[in-house]
Amino acid sequence: MKRRLPLILISPDIQEKGKEFEDLSISLSHNYERALEHAGMLPLTMPATVSGDLIAECVRHCDGVLLTGGDDLDPRLYGDGLEPPVERTVAVCPDGGRRDLRELMLIDEVFRQRKPLLAICRGHQMLNVALGGTLIADIPQQLPGALNHRRLDKRSEIVHEARLTPGSFLAKIAVEPMLGVNSTHHQAVDKVAPPLRVSAASTDGVVEGLELKPKAADWLPFLLSVQFHPERLEDRYREHRAIFLAFAAACAAGRNRVI
């Protein structure tokens, strides 16, 4: 008899019309699938639906959910408007807000069904907004003197360090007090959502990791969100592989059938 691999529902990015096909299409970096497979999980891409019934059914069939990176969130989700110079830097998903809506519904369903959740980059920001937090819309303009967090030239390389909060879940996973991270974003968490706490921050104060506060820790069996991209680093760095192994363990513990 063989144990079933944990099935992980991945929320994909959306590509604009004409970039590959004549209509909108889903897009997913192979790095996400590779990282999940390396940690003993079975990845499954989520359909681009905004049907509440279908989203609930997707979550019901999976053992864990992964929120991925991509374009910016619609700023109307977390604020009353941006100054024009800042607003011009925002590049929202080209599907008219359907990805934003889908992931808000997905997060709500994950909490309702209590499934493990790992959120990366845009997913990290979406989780914070979904739970009542806000975002910095453009780091260069709104945080003068901050590090360069948009190192697109080194997407899969360590470019700066993040200090891990002592006693946090992420600190226990990584073991070390500092974690080297990659960085390809221009937005960041601003006001942290009430149920969450910071588990990692870069030297300029940008939030690099979030987790549930102790009083909310039993809301989900696993929740971790990170601003960096561990899926691009896990093949070379033990600390980043450990994130996926911890996620896999939580997913396997929740549902492990034999086939």
Catalytic status, residue 121: yes
Q: Which of 124, 186, 229, 240 is catalytic?
A: 229
In the block, tokens 């390389």 appear at: 157
CA distance 133 to 195: 9
Neighbour count for residue 246 (Cβ, 10 Å):
20
**Token match 């934003």: residue?**
100
Give the up-direction half-sphere exposure of residue 136: CA atoms within 13 A in the CB hemisphere: 21
Question: What is the Cα–Cα distance from 194 to 94, expressed in whole angstroms?
Answer: 30
Known catalytic residues are 121, 229, 231
